[in-house]
Structure 1
Amino acid sequence: MNFSSDNVTPICPEILNAIAVESDHAALPYGADDKSRQLDAAFSELFGTDVCVVPVATGTAANLIGLSGLVSPFGGVVCHHRAHINMTESTGVAFYGGGAKLLGIDGPSAKIEADTLDAFLRAHSPNGMHSVDPECVAITQTTELGTVYNVDEVQAIGKTCQKHGMRLFMDGARFANAVATLDCHPADITWKAGVDVLSFGATKNGALAVDAIVLFDRELRRHTEKSRKRGGHLFSKHRYLAAQLLAYLKDDLWLRNARHANDAAIALQHALESIGAKAAFAPQGNELFIHMKDELAQSLRDVGIVFRPWASIGPDAYRFVCAWNSPIDLIRDIPKSINS
C-alpha cells in the first residue's frame, strides 16, 4: 500500500470513462466545445451562486493563476508560513503576480487565526513606494498538516479581510476532503465567507490532470484567462479537462471520493496506534501525521507499506496520505501483517 501521496493513485473509473467518451468525436478547441460551455452552470449549481470556471491541468497553476488576479505586482499575499504556495511552489506567486511577495505569518496546526491576521494587518505601517503592502490573504483548505478550517474560522478570516480591504483566496487542492469532514454546503466556506477565488482540486481526488479555478468574483474572468494563456496553461483540447470536471461533479463523485479517503485515514490512524504509533494531529481530512519509533517504521516498510518522513514536525514523524481508492479492509489488517 502506497501512502506517500494522493498523487500516486490511478484515475477513478467514472472520470476515465468520461475521457474515453470524448475520444469518440471531434470538438472545437480552446474551450469552445460543448463540455467546456457547461462548466459555469455546473459549478454555479454546486455553489449556489453564479461563478466562472477556468480549468487548468495542475494544482500549482490553479493556485498561481488564480492568485494573480487578486494582487498587484508590488503587493503582498498574507499566508501561513507553512502554506503550499510558500513552501513548495517555488517563486510561482512572484512569477504570475509580476513580482508580488508572500508575507508569512504563524498559527497553530498550519492555520491562520483571524485575531492574528487582524493584528498583523493593523501593525503594518505603509511606507509609500518603499514598502510591500498586503493586498490579499491566502488560506489552504485542508492545510499542510491535514487540519481543516471550520465554517466559523473561515467566516472570521473573511470578515477580517473585509475590514482591512483585503481579497481572500483559498487553495483547495483538498477542498473536497474539507467539505466531507465538515459536512457543510461548499458555499458556507467559500463565497458566503468572503472567498473571492478558489482553486478546486480534482487531480488528487481521482482525476487525471485537472483542477478548476472558481471565480466568485466573475469580473476576474478576463484577467484569469489572459494569465492562463500567457503562462502556457490553455489546453487546445480543452474538452478533456471539462469532461473530467463534469464527471467529477456528477452524482457528487468529488464528495464520495473524499469521504472514502477521509474514512481510510481514520482507519489507518486506529491501525497504526494499535501497534504503538501516535497521531500528531487527529486526521480531519485524508492526511495522517504519525510519530513512531524507527523499528516500527521499518516493520511497516518490510511489509510493503510506503510513506514519507516528515521532519518538519519532528525527527520521528511521518506522513501517510489516503486516497479515493485506499483499501480500508487491508488498512485494518495492518496490525496482523506486522505481528505475523
Structure 2
Amino acid sequence: MLFTSDNWAGVHPDILDAMVAANGGNAPAYGNDPSTEAARAALSDSFEREVEVAFVTTGSAANGLALACMMPPWGAVMAHEHAHVHIDECGAPEFYTGGAKVLTVPGQGGKLTPAALRDALSVYSPPQYHRVRPAALSLTQGTEWGSVYQPDEIGALAEVARAFGLKVHMDGARFAGAVASGAGTPAELTWKAGVDVLCLGGTKNGCMAAEAVICFDKALAEQLPWRQKRAGLSWSKHRFLSVQWSAYLKDGLWLDLAGHANDAAARLAEMMSRHEAIDLILPPQINEVFVTMPDGLAEKLREQGAQFYDWIQPNDAHDRKARRFVTSYVTADADIAALEEALR
C-alpha cells in the first residue's frame, strides 16, 4: 500500500535496457554524442517544432537554470503560493538566479487566475528600483493539487504575463500526466499557449534521473550551456541521460506510463470517496489524490501498512488535515484493493 510518491518507483525496463546498451563502447562526452542529438530530435518531434534542450538530473536544477535565463538578480518570479519552486526547492531558484525573489499569488486548486495574477503584478507596475522587477511567470503542470491547466487557461495567463513584460516558465515535473489526461498535446499545452520554457520531468514517470530544460525561445537557450557548466550540472557521460529520453518517448511510452498512473489515481479516488469519513478535496486529473480524513483513521491505516503523506501547505483551506496519495506507473490493482480492505 505504497502511495507516498512516484519518485519511489523503479526505472522502467525499456529505459534501463537503453542505458545498459549505451554502456557498450565509447562516445564523445558532454552531449556531443549521437544519442544526445537523437534525444533532441525526439523531443522536437513530440513538441511539433525544433527545440533547444539542456538535459539535467533533477527538477530543482532544471527549474533553477530555466528561471536564471529569464531574469536578472533583481528580478522576481510570480508563482502560485503552493508552487514547488516556492515551497519545496530550498531556495534553489533564488540561488540559481543570483538572488531573484519568488513572489506568490493565491489560487484555488493549485491554479492561478488571470485576475489574481494581474492584481499581484500591478503592485510592481510601473517598475521602481526600490522593488524587485517581475520577469517570469511560473506555472506548474499538473499542479501541486493534482489539477491540470487547460490550453486556454495557460493562454490567458500568458497574455497577462506578456502585458507586464514577463516570460512564461512551466514546471512540468508531472507534465506527462497532464498530456495523458487529455488536456491537450504537448505543443498545445506549451508554446502554442505562450510558454517560453518547459522543465519536462521524466524521473517521476519511469526514468532514472532525467529532466529536460526545453526552450521554445532560442534567445533564452543561448545562456543555458554556460549556466549549466557554471552550476556543475554538465554531465561528461552525457549519453546515459540522453538515451533515457529516446526510450521514454519511443512509441508513446511516456504517455502510457502516465496514463496508467492517472487511471490508478482515478480508481483510488473513487474507492476512497465511498468511505463515510473521507472527503475528496478535488477530483484527480493526474496521479495525485488529495483527501481529508480524521487523524484516528489516518493512524489506523498506517498501522496496517498504508504509506502516504500529510499535505500541509501555507494558507490551505483544509484545516491542515489534507492527505496526499500518489500513484505511479507500477501501482497495481492489488495495491488499491489492499487499501480498500484496510479501510473496511
Q: How far does the alpha carbon of each residue in 1:144-183 deviate from its partner, in whole angstroms, 9 at most, with x for none?
A: 1111111111111111122222100000000011111134
Unaligned runs of 5+ in 2: none
Q: How does 1:143-182 map to 2 (within 5 A)?
A: 143-182=143-182
SS at match of 1:102: strand
Asked whether the equivalents of residues 44 and 50 of structure 1 are also in contact (C-alpha less than 8 Å), the reply is yes
Q: How far does the alpha carbon of each residue in 1:179-204 deviate from its partner, in whole angstroms, 9 at most, with x for none?
A: 11134211111001110000001000
Once the 2 structures are TM-superposed, how far is the Cα of residue 81 of structure 1 from its aligned partner?
1.4
What is the aligned partner in structure 1 of residue 336 from structure 2?
A: 331
| Cα distance change of structure 1 residues 192 and 275 upon mapping to structure 2, 3 Å threshold | same
What is the aligned partner in structure 2 of residue 270 from structure 1?
A: 270
Once the 2 structures are TM-superposed, how far is the Cα of residue 337 of structure 1 from its aligned partner?
4.3
What is the aligned partner in structure 2 of residue 321 from structure 1?
A: 326
Query: Matched residues in 1 for 2:215 and 2:271: separation?
Result: 40
Once the 2 structures are TM-superposed, how far is the Cα of residue 30 of structure 1 from its aligned partner?
0.5
Q: How does 1:218-237 map to 2 (within 5 A)?
A: 218-237=218-237
**Is residue 2:124 matched to residue 1:113?**
no
SS at match of 2:146: coil
Q: How far does the alpha carbon of each residue in 1:125-145 deviate from its partner, in whole angstroms, 9 at most, with x for none?
A: 445322211111111111111
Asked whether the equivalents of residues 46 and 186 of structure 2 are also in contact (C-alpha less than 8 Å), the reply is yes
Query: Matched residues in 1 for 2:275 and 2:305: separation?
Result: 16
Which segment is superposed worse, 112-121 or 53-62?
112-121
Asked whether the equivalents of residues 267 and 332 of structure 1 are also in contact (C-alpha less than 8 Å), the reply is no
Tell me the TM-score normalised to structure 2 length: 0.94
What is the aligned partner in structure 2 of residue 29 from structure 1?
A: 29
SS at match of 2:222: helix
Once the 2 structures are TM-superposed, how far is the Cα of residue 297 of structure 1 from its aligned partner?
1.8
Asked whether the equivalents of residues 59 and 199 of structure 1 are also in contact (C-alpha less than 8 Å), the reply is yes
What is the aligned partner in structure 1 of residue 204 from structure 2?
A: 204
Task: Please tell me the root mean square deviation across aligned C-alpha atoms, in Å.
Answer: 1.5
Query: Matched residues in 1 for 2:322 and 2:148: separation?
Result: 20
SS at match of 1:136: strand
SS at match of 1:7: helix
Which segment is superposed worse, 194-203 or 297-306?
297-306
Asked whether the equivalents of residues 271 and 332 of structure 1 are also in contact (C-alpha less than 8 Å), the reply is no
Asked whether the equivalents of residues 181 and 284 of structure 1 are also in contact (C-alpha less than 8 Å), the reply is yes
SS at match of 1:182: coil
Tell me the TM-score normalised to structure 1 length: 0.95
Query: Matched residues in 2 for 1:127 and 1:333: separation?
Result: 56
Query: Matched residues in 2 for 1:323 and 1:88: separation?
Result: 20
Amino acid at match of 1:290: V
Asked whether the equivalents of residues 303 and 338 of structure 1 are also in contact (C-alpha less than 8 Å), the reply is no
Query: Matched residues in 1 for 2:342 and 2:70: separation?
Result: 50
What is the aligned partner in structure 2 of residue 255 from structure 1?
A: 255
Unaligned runs of 5+ in 1: none
SS at match of 2:53: strand
Q: How far does the alpha carbon of each residue in 1:105-134 deviate from its partner, in whole angstroms, 9 at most, with x for none?
A: 111112111122123223424453222111
Once the 2 structures are TM-superposed, how far is the Cα of residue 335 of structure 1 from its aligned partner?
2.2
Query: Matched residues in 2 for 1:311 and 1:80: separation?
Result: 15
